[in-house]
Chains A and B, each alone.
Chain A
């Protein structure tokens, strides 16, 4: 062990790489610029696969075929069939539609809500306290538990999953945006704009919003990943999308009953979730490194 530590660069050069290198270390060192690119490719492939599902498979994912039930992966059924004889390959492709739709819409909604609340809180000292206490309160619930509670009230529908997850995750984005805005608000060029008599709306639109874009982009990527995972968990628990809509979580939920005889039912939707999650994490980490200077200025104040 001690020999390896002896190979470290001398303390002086280590001091310089302190902040930035530590932050960007994980993935940049992991794969140079390959990481975020690979992440983006995985994500695009996943989206294309679910969009072009009808071209990529000639099975109807909802077509029942009792004679073929629980058959192992073969040439006719690439990834096998489930307990209703539905083709798992087609289910995973079509399931991606619901899962990615939820992820994408939750990403957009949390960004919009987060920016709205974050900018208002960061800019208005009157509303700041009130809004942030509400955000703190919402974040005092474990994410999945609040999502379950909201689904219990709203009822099991795909649209409600999107609403529930947006309520759960928007406070995180709002908090981040607020901390960014609070820093920018105090910068000299904002003061200069105020001195020139610019209206608040103009200052927010021209000077503050553009500077929130970098941290927002990184955050949005992670929100997409969280939402895909959370949607899968809710569906798996039976409180998310209704069972007749194929989503990755729903496929796993039915497959768990046949884990002994037909493990392929849970393998592939699980791998799809992992690939998309991994892709988004690689992309998010890569973006954060790329946008580091401005991002660091913002997060340092939070």
Chain B
């Protein structure tokens, strides 16, 4: 088992190398002179020269990469050009809202998606099944940011149930935190619950055809026990992979949702940094998100092996 985990982790190294290369190249894709673009229109020639040497932009490309990657691996992502602090600090200060938003929306996706998928699967080809699946297709087509705005219009502006925008951190109390994140989590998570429902439905349909389900039925077990006790367990295994995939998608989606609801998270930091050309922060935030994405997928792969004893470690 340990050797499996190790091998699985090592297989990620090439992926991480590509991720870092792409992230590094962002600065070098800037048309013209990156240093003068970053320094802004009002910068003097000496400002630009200073910035260029600070970011090692005058060295050969491969030397720059080795230096940048060497520091990044040790957790040093440089200094923000605007915030007067390290990129690391800037990102960690903004991590809480993003993580909580992602987790809450994951809960929304699972809590809405799984029951819908199971219900659709146990009554295949009925009106309800078709209705759910039409909803699922619709869910994929609705942009999350638009749904968020509609929620603001309906539940915040008109009904005044929840705040329209802003954020209260966990330290100000769980309820306050939840009040601010409910609409964002719904708008982000419902979209993905469509995917969870589709997947759960197809896994469930597959499992319900297995021999042991027929055995359970023929020994006279009540149908809902067959579904919930026997089938559900085996549906949960593949669903874990989907949930991991969705977690990663939600992490990306959090960027748009944070802008819609004006939440001071890492996604908001990324967009603000793009607008003020704070490239070290852009690189840092993108690297953090990509590495989180890779690590989550690794964890999911491992969970899959742990949960399902039939899967060999090889």
Partner of A239, one of B21, B126, B145, B275: B275
- B196: which A residues are within 8 A, CB to CB? none
> Chain B residues with Cβ under 8 A from A115's Cβ?
none
* Partner of B124 from A8, A137, A152, A154 at Cβ < 8 Å: A8
**Cβ–Cβ < 8 Å partners of B271 in chain A:** 148, 237-239
Q: Is the CB of A238 within 8 A of B275?
A: yes
Is A2 a contact partner of B224 (Cβ separation < 8 A)?
Answer: yes
Chain A nearest Cβ from B189, distance in angstroms: 16
* B122 in contact with A1 (CB, 8 Å): yes
Of chain B, the residue at the smallest CB distance from A256 is: B149
Q: Which residue of A lies closest to B259 (CB)?
A: A237
Q: How far is the CA of A260 from the CA of B122 in the complex (A)?
A: 43
Q: Does A136 contact B (CB under 8 A)?
A: yes
Interface residue B238 (Cβ < 8 Å from any Cβ of A): no
Contact B133 A136 (CB under 8 A): no
Known contacts A137-B21, A152-B279, A277-B140; A5 and B290 CB within 8 A of each other: no
Question: Is the CB of A26 closer than 8 A to any CB of chain B?
Answer: yes
- Are A155 and B255 touching (Cβ within 8 A)? no
| Separation of A138 and B283 alpha carbons in the complex (Å) | 15
Residue pair A138, B133 in contact (C-beta under 8 Å): no
Interchain nearest-CB distance for A92 vs B (Å): 13
A4 to B27 alpha-carbon distance, docked (Å): 60
Given known contacts A26-B133, A148-B255, A133 and B15 CB-to-CB distance under 8 angstroms: yes
For chain B, give the interface size range. 35 or more
A160 to chain B, nearest CB (A): 10
| B141, CB-defined interface residue at 8 Å | yes
| Contact code string A268-283 (vs B, CB < 8 Å = 1, else 0) | 0010011001100110
Q: A137-B21, A278-B137 are contacts. A259–B149 as well, Cβ < 8 Å? A: yes
With A133-B18, A137-B15, A239-B275 as known contacts, state yes or no: A149 contacts B282, CB within 8 Å.
yes
Whole-angstrom distance between the Cβ of B133 and the nearest chain A Cβ:
5
Q: Is A45 an interface residue (CB 8 A)?
A: no
In the complex, how many residues of chain A place their beta carbon closer than 8 angstroms to a beta carbon of chain B? 59
What's the minimum C-beta distance from B53 to chain A, rounded to whole angstroms?
A: 21
Whose C-beta in chain B lies nearest to the C-beta of A232? B143
Q: Is A79 an interface residue (CB 8 A)?
A: no
Q: Is the CB of A148 within 8 A of B143?
A: no
**Least Cβ distance of B187 to chain A in Å?**
12
Q: Is A78 an interface residue (CB 8 A)?
A: no
Residues of B within 8 A of A225 (CB): 141
Once the chains bind, are A148 and B270 in contact (CB under 8 Å)? yes
CB nearest neighbor in A for B253: A144
CB-contact partner of A259 in B16, B30, B122, B152, under 8 A: B152
Q: Can you list 26 residue pairs at the A/B interface with Cβ under 8 Å?
A: A1-B224, A14-B209, A26-B137, A133-B14, A133-B18, A136-B15, A137-B15, A137-B17, A137-B22, A138-B22, A141-B289, A141-B293, A149-B283, A149-B286, A150-B29, A152-B26, A152-B273, A153-B27, A154-B31, A225-B141, A233-B256, A238-B271, A259-B153, A273-B141, A278-B141, A281-B140
Additional 11 contacts, C-beta under 8 A, given A18-B209, A29-B130: A5-B223, A25-B202, A137-B17, A142-B289, A144-B252, A145-B286, A229-B141, A233-B256, A236-B259, A270-B150, A277-B143
Using a CB–CB distance below 8 Å, which chain A residues touch chain B?
1-2, 4-6, 8, 11, 14-15, 18, 22, 25-27, 29-30, 133-134, 136-138, 140-146, 148-155, 225, 229, 232-233, 236-239, 252, 255-256, 259-260, 263, 266, 270, 273-274, 277-278, 281-282, 285
- State the B residues within 8 Å of A (CB): 14-19, 21-23, 26-31, 122-126, 129-130, 133-134, 136-138, 140-143, 145-146, 149-150, 152-153, 157, 198, 202, 205-206, 209, 214, 222-224, 226-227, 248-249, 251-253, 255-256, 259-260, 270-271, 273-275, 277, 279, 282-283, 286, 289-290, 293-294
What are the nearest 10 A-B pairs in CB distance? Answer: A137-B18, A142-B252, A277-B141, A2-B223, A153-B29, A270-B146, A152-B274, A278-B141, A5-B223, A133-B14
